[in-house]
Amino acid sequence: MSGLAGLLAGDLRVVNVGLASFAEPVAAAGAAVTTLDWRPPAGGDAESALRLARLYRDERIEAANAVAVERLLAAQPMLVDVMTAREAIPALADGPLLLHAGPPIEWERMCGPMRGGIVGAIVLEGWAADLAAAERMAASGEVAFAPAHHFDAVGPMAGITSPSMPLYVVEDAATGRRAYSNFNEGLGKVLRYGANDEEVLRRLRWMNSELGPVVKAALRSLPDPVNLKSIISQALQMGDECHNRNVAATSLVARQLAPALARQGDPGVRALEFLRDNNFFFLNLSMASCKLLTLAGHGVAGSTLVTTMARNGVDFGIRVSGCGDAWFTAPAPVPVGLYFPGYGPDDANPDLGDSAITETAGIGGFAMAAAPAIVGFVGGTLAEAMAYSVEMGTITLARNREFQLPTLGAGAATGIDVRRVLDTGSQPVINTGIAHRLPGVGQIGAGICRAPLGCFTSALAGIEAALLAAS
Amino acid sequence: MSGLAGLLAGDLRVVNVGLASFAEPVAAAGAAVTTLDWRPPAGGDAESALRLARLYRDERIEAANAVAVERLLAAQPMLVDVMTAREAIPALADGPLLLHAGPPIEWERMCGPMRGGIVGAIVLEGWAADLAAAERMAASGEVAFAPAHHFDAVGPMAGITSPSMPLYVVEDAATGRRAYSNFNEGLGKVLRYGANDEEVLRRLRWMNSELGPVVKAALRSLPDPVNLKSIISQALQMGDECHNRNVAATSLVARQLAPALARQGDPGVRALEFLRDNNFFFLNLSMASCKLLTLAGHGVAGSTLVTTMARNGVDFGIRVSGCGDAWFTAPAPVPVGLYFPGYGPDDANPDLGDSAITETAGIGGFAMAAAPAIVGFVGGTLAEAMAYSVEMGTITLARNREFQLPTLGAGAATGIDVRRVLDTGSQPVINTGIAHRLPGVGQIGAGICRAPLGCFTSALAGIEAALLAAS
């Protein structure tokens, strides 16, 4: 016997690829079935799948990606200074301009928490006398808005950065390139979740007038800048993934800065109290470090390395090393997670903030194996945490040599490749806080979301266009 | 067929218990052999094995152990104060007396590092003008020596405590009971490894005159005492096992104390510098906490709970809840570990120090699963680290409710039962530093050792005698 008849003569052993239901009648008839979890590439979009096939083995891309990811891995973020935003980013000194998280967005389309943050910042800057006047001003077009990313800066959640705020200055020891982030306000009612009442503004004024200057003075008194890459590496050995958990990194940097802050008298004491009580203090330093790492990998012609993932609460946007300043966007998803008592998914704002820069650099959700407490918070196990980190290894270009994950015995999966995301259908996993969709309410939970596939299909088209233009 | 002939008629499947070599000819003849890793109880000592059989199901012991281990688990160590040793332990004010680690030992039998520490402490106290005179004084009998444990105190390695030194005062929130430990000197040339030159004495004088008083002042300025149990619980989630690795716990306590120390001016700044540079700062706080926990479980008639394991560099000694002040000793083993370049096992002093109180309380080597970096240091893996913690679960009475091990998803194995050690042959595993056998050289490595079985066979006899006396 041969051919089809021969195939069916013996005991059937079937491998089913795709929809599990296809195999059910076969199994019911008594055959052994192995179901493979397979999804068509590029989310089933034929045009993108063909493009992916054309670009998957393009030698120019391979070479460009090798350069880009090596630059990302080699950067050495050091905390060198604190400057006001208007000193660090001259555009902020020119006219009423505020920076926000994520890709570009106009006032009319902004989500509640971002509007709340903007209104608060306008009052903080003294451009309007009260919140109502500030809201009219924001809607009138008198204030310009731009992504923080356009100035090599990042901010968590709404990410509102105004001229008087202090920024961390993080510098690459190798190249001198700089990235910036604002300071973390702590938990509770904070501007980054859209709260803007007097308590919020009072804290921001203290951060402007005292916290920023005293941290600056402490840093300048140190013989060497603070090696943030070393702190992140250590913290990954200590249960942090440096996005949603920063307890170890905050404690390590507090211990390192404490003598220099203590030498500054009462303002230093108050800074140390703030550091003691804010387990998210390091988040913004982690973000600025990751911005610097990904900046180092940006701008390599032909590279499909993702160098930014950011959300404005409406759109999710990515930027790609070989595609210059272009943003590739799709609607921002709502995170899946655990809500604080009294809140649920209906209250949640879609995903928000520049903090996905941590995942872009290979930590955060990509380093979940380092921080089983994050998934434990929503009832998950160490095995599930490890599974996220293993899965992210299928869409990345390298293993980080310095960011090691102790439970995996391997470096963090680093450097998202647009092509691998589309080929596997494994969307980048992001650990995130969940904001209430209305301004002023604040954080209502924490969870996990996946970068939308649409950003990556658009980016692939952008890459192909850039390659065609160059050839 | 029946009987022996029937047994041998079919295919042979053999379970071999004990020596693996017994099974070799059977396997060579073609039979399937499963070799069970079994050792006779009580190390093969027939008298002890019979005693173990008599005591294994004694209801008085079961009831006493339930009380003792519950008391251990329930204690709440809080750092409440710093006192000089002579204030905390009045016997030290009465005459020339020095405390040392481990069970009692006379000068003639003391190891090199302990002699070095004693000679240094005599000069520190001004009882002799120089090291040579101090050594003559120590040998003359003019100075008395006693275990720190006899005064509810502990010290790592040589553990020398002299009247002028500052001690941490750790208090059980529930009972008011107190335990003490000296301060950690850091790494390098230090008294606890028997070094005693001018550099060592200068640091000790600074600790006496400035560090102790400024930490005391800082503690007294806090609204609440420092909850050491909470810090240990957190640190176990952050890669520490709180014996040989204390990075997280040191950082957490530094961050908590920093504002209060900063308010003390220059001495506070110097204390914060010392805290910044000493990753073992928390070790002595961990030890004092564990001393308090095990003290809480001590003194329950009939209990076989081990409440002390301690080494003086010559003898390894244990104390047992139901056996009062009695020490059960055996020769101290040499740790197996990794040596610093230029040193090897021939240079090593046998195991030394009170720090095995951490394992007695269920952390340290018992919590190795929390700190894979410890076994990683000697080339081990996470799986090996987890295996130590799982094995210790076979010789203990409980799982700790608060000291959770993240990689195991279980509480630390807590409360060594003399009977279980003898029944399983699993000797308690201890993480430890390795001292050079000559005074003044210092630490030459780090590794692991096992508590000698001899302590446990003697202790079992002690328990039986105590039970007979009481009945």
User: Is the model more confident about B98 or about B376?
Assistant: B98
Average pLDDT (B72-85) is: 98
Chain B contacts of A253, Cβ < 8 Å?
none
pLDDT of residue A16: 85
pLDDT digits (tens, 9 = 90+) for A309-346: 999 999 999 999 999 999 999 999 999 988 999 999 99
Cβ pair A255:B276 closer than 8 A? yes
Searching chain B, which residue's CA lies closest to the CA of residue A254? B255
Nearest CB to A259 within list B251, B272, B373:
B272
The DSSP call for residue A197 is S
Searching chain A, which residue's CA lies closest to the CA of residue B252? A251
Which of A286, A310, A345 lies at the terminal end of a domain, its last residue? A286
Residue A242 has phi, psi (to 5 degrees) of 65, 25
Searching chain B, which residue's CA lies closest to the CA of residue A236? B238
Q: Give the 3-state secondary structure of residue A269.
A: helix
Average pLDDT (A343-372) is: 96
B266-277 and B212-221 helices, crossing angle to 10°: 100
Determine, yes or no, domain membership for A6: no
Chain B contacts of A261, Cβ < 8 Å?
258, 262
Cβ pair B247:A238 closer than 8 A? yes
Average pLDDT (B261-280) is: 98
pLDDT of residue B4: 66
Cβ pair B259:A276 closer than 8 A? yes
| CA neighbor of B271 nearest in space, from A220, A269, A258, A225 | A258
Do B114 and B169 belong together in one domain? yes
Cβ pair A407:B407 closer than 8 A? yes
Do B29 and B52 belong together in one domain? no
Determine, yes or no, domain membership for A100: yes
Which of A227, A255, A286 lies at the terminal end of a domain, its last residue? A286
Determine, yes or no, domain membership for A431: yes
Do B101 and B233 belong together in one domain? yes
Strands of the B443-450 sheet, one edge to the other: B336-339, B443-450, B429-435
pLDDT greater than 90 at residue A382: no
Average pLDDT (B99-106) is: 98
Distance between CA atoms of residues B296 and B293, nearest Å:
5
- Tell me the two tokens of residue A427: 């969307």
Which region among A26-40, A222-236, A379-393 has the lowest average model confidence (pLDDT)? A26-40
pLDDT greater than 90 at residue A24: no
Q: Are B233 and B248 in contact (CB under 8 A)?
A: no
pLDDT greater than 60 at residue B2: no
Do A309 and A268 belong together in one domain? no
| DSSP tally for chain A: helices H, then strands E | 19, 18
Do B119 and B209 belong together in one domain? yes
Chain B nearest-CA distance from A366, in A, is 18
Do A38 and A153 belong together in one domain? no
The DSSP call for residue B29 is T
Determine, yes or no, domain membership for A232: yes
The DSSP call for residue B207 is I
Distance between CA atoms of residues B365 and B308, nearest Å:
15
pLDDT band of residue A376 (cuts 50, 70, 90) is confident
Chain B contacts of A277, Cβ < 8 Å?
none
| CA neighbor of B74 nearest in space, from B170, B175, B168, B181 | B175
pLDDT of residue A1: 46
Q: Give the 3-state secondary structure of residue B21.
A: helix
The total number of structural domains in chain A stands at: 3
H or E element in which residue B250 lies: helix B247-262
Searching chain B, which residue's CA lies closest to the CA of residue A240? B238
Average pLDDT (A117-121) is: 97
Which domain CATH number covers A411? 3.90.1700.10
pLDDT of residue A424: 95
Do A279 and A345 belong together in one domain? no
Chain B contacts of A234, Cβ < 8 Å?
247
CB half-sphere exposure, A416, CA atoms < 13 A: 37
What are the DSSP E strand ranges found in B351-409? Answer: 352-353, 396-405
pLDDT of residue B1: 47
- Tell me the two tokens of residue B399: 């799982």
Q: Which residues contact B406 (CB under 8 A, 6 or more apart)?
A: A239, A372, A373, A376, A382, B236, B237, B370
Q: Are A136 and A460 in contact (CB under 8 A)?
A: no
Which of A286, A313, A333 lies at the terminal end of a domain, its last residue? A286
Amino acid residing at B205: R
The DSSP call for residue A348 is B
Chain B contacts of A275, Cβ < 8 Å?
255, 258
Q: Which residues contact A367 (CB under 8 A, 6 or more apart)?
A: A236, A241, A242, A389, A403, A405, A412
pLDDT of residue B381: 83
- Report, in this order, helix, strand and coil percent for chain A, each rounded to 5: 50, 20, 30
Distance between CA atoms of residues A398 and A400, nearest Å:
6
Chain A nearest-CA distance from B264, in A, is 9
DSSP readout, B287-320?
Answer: HHHHHHHHHHT---TT--BEEEEEEESSEEEEEE
Q: Are A320 and A462 in contact (CB under 8 A)?
A: yes
Tokens 């509007």 belong to residue: A115
pLDDT greater than 80 at residue B37: no
Q: Which residues contact A362 (CB under 8 A, 6 or more apart)?
A: A396, A400, A403, A412, A413, A414, A415
Q: How far is CA A32 from CA A1, A112, A312, B312, B408, in A?
A: 22, 53, 48, 65, 35
User: Is the model more confident about B383 or about B308?
Assistant: B308
pLDDT greater than 70 at residue B378: no
Distance between CA atoms of residues B30 and B27, nearest Å:
5
pLDDT digits (tens, 9 = 90+) for A61-108: 999 999 999 999 999 999 999 999 999 999 999 889 999 999 999 999
- Tell me the two tokens of residue B323: 């056996």
Cβ pair A272:B259 closer than 8 A? yes
Bin A172: left if φ > 0, else alpha if -120 < ψ < 50, else beta.
beta
| DSSP tally for chain B: helices H, then strands E | 19, 18
pLDDT band of residue B27 (cuts 50, 70, 90) is confident
pLDDT digits (tens, 9 = 90+) for B432-447: 999 999 987 888 999 9
Question: What percent of chain A has pLDDT above 70?
Answer: 97
Which region among A13-27, A273-287, B103-117, B295-309 has the lowest average model confidence (pLDDT)? A13-27
Chain A contacts of B268, Cβ < 8 Å?
262
Do A64 and A35 belong together in one domain? no
Cβ pair A254:B256 closer than 8 A? no
Which domain CATH number covers A247? 3.90.1710.10
pLDDT digits (tens, 9 = 90+) for B131-167: 999 999 999 999 999 999 999 999 999 999 999 999 9
Q: Which residues contact B371 (CB under 8 A, 6 or more apart)?
A: B239, B240, B241, B244, B245, B385
pLDDT greater than 60 at residue A224: yes
Residue A179 has phi, psi (to 5 degrees) of -135, 165
Round the average pLDDT of chain B to a whole number and report it: 94
| CA neighbor of A289 nearest in space, from A87, A68, A72 | A72
- Tell me the two tokens of residue A110: 């902004």
Average pLDDT (B352-360) is: 98
pLDDT greater than 60 at residue A2: no
Average pLDDT (A129-137) is: 97
Do B216 and B325 belong together in one domain? no
Do B366 and B411 belong together in one domain? yes
Q: Which residues contact B419 (CB under 8 A, 6 or more apart)?
A: B52, B55, B56, B61, B304, B460
pLDDT of residue B136: 98
pLDDT band of residue A38 (cuts 50, 70, 90) is confident
Residue A399 has phi, psi (to 5 degrees) of -105, 135
Question: What percent of chain B has pLDDT above 90?
Answer: 82
Do A17 and A68 belong together in one domain? no
pLDDT greater than 90 at residue A396: yes
Searching chain A, which residue's CA lies closest to the CA of residue B239? A238
Do A88 and A223 belong together in one domain? yes
Average pLDDT (A377-405) is: 91
Distance between CA atoms of residues A157 and A243, nearest Å:
12
Interface size A-B, in CB pairs within 8 Å, comes to: 93
According to DSSP, the residues that pair with B154 across neighbouring strands are B181
Residue range(s) defining the domain that contains residue B363: 42-72+297-470
pLDDT digits (tens, 9 = 90+) for B166-195: 999 999 998 999 999 999 999 889 999 999
